[in-house]
Amino acid sequence: MEKEVAIITGAASGIGQAIAIALSERNICTILVDKNPCTETIQQLTGDFFEHNGDINSEAFIDEVITNTIKHFGKIDILVNNAGTCGRSSLETMTLEEWTRDISTNLQSTFLFIQKVVYPHMKEQKYGRIINISSISGMNGGAISEGETVGRSGPAYAASKGGVIALTKWVAKEIGFLHITCNSVAPGATETGITKGVNYEISNQPINRMGQPSEIAAAVAFLASKEASYITGQVLAVDGGLYM
């Protein structure tokens, strides 16, 4: 059987690294995309891979990733839009530069990757799985801070992740007839570099602990599978039961 091919953005560490490992364990060829070297991820892969280092805010770089993926593997079956930034400035102090960074990295790059992977590649093969990593912040506006802003994900992060969720649903309606699904996984408080040093209030969660990247990756792997062929436009919260 011909191996599937997956593009994973933000694959150098954290959730993206865990997703790349999980897909590789399922005999899927992984295209690792990150501004930083994916050395630690590569050491844990069990299958074929290709690495691209660059800025996903650059349309030219996105074109390069897709062109080289088609050149080396001939197709793209799975797209995981995971790369992201998280500014923690308050509404009062956030600068336009900070706002633009989160909106561009989290939302604009997701749009561009989807557009350029679907047309023409997934459209021509009439098959594909798109999974966008959003966040509980995109569903509930982020944690209640009670006047404290340090550590709380900022308004640009919440807005961008909410946008990812809306985009996911829009795309699902647009391309379902092509046998391409588009879903989102929304992590809650998860132990990654982005959350390091942040004190999350998790005592009120039904599962009162931090999540692990591997738990997010397991949800992504399911949505990327053929078994998930009748699931689209959904947001799967992996959050210890916080949002229900």
Backbone angles phi, psi at 81, to 5 degrees: -90, 95
- Sheet with strand 235-238: strands edge to edge: 49-53, 29-34, 5-9, 78-81, 128-133, 180-187, 235-238
Judge whether 243 counts as a catalytic residue.
no
118 half-sphere exposure, CB direction, 13 A CA radius: 21
* Cα-Cα end-to-end distance for the chain: 40
Contacts of 238 (CB under 8 A, 6+ apart): 185, 186, 187, 188, 190, 211, 215, 216, 219
Residue 51 burial (C-beta neighbours within 10 Å; 0-12, 13-18, 19+): middle
* Active-site position among 119, 127, 157, 243: 157
* Collapsed DSSP state (helix, strand, coil) of residue 146: coil
Q: How far is CA 178 from the centre of its chain?
A: 22
Retrieve residue 160's tokens: 């961008």
Catalytic residues: 157
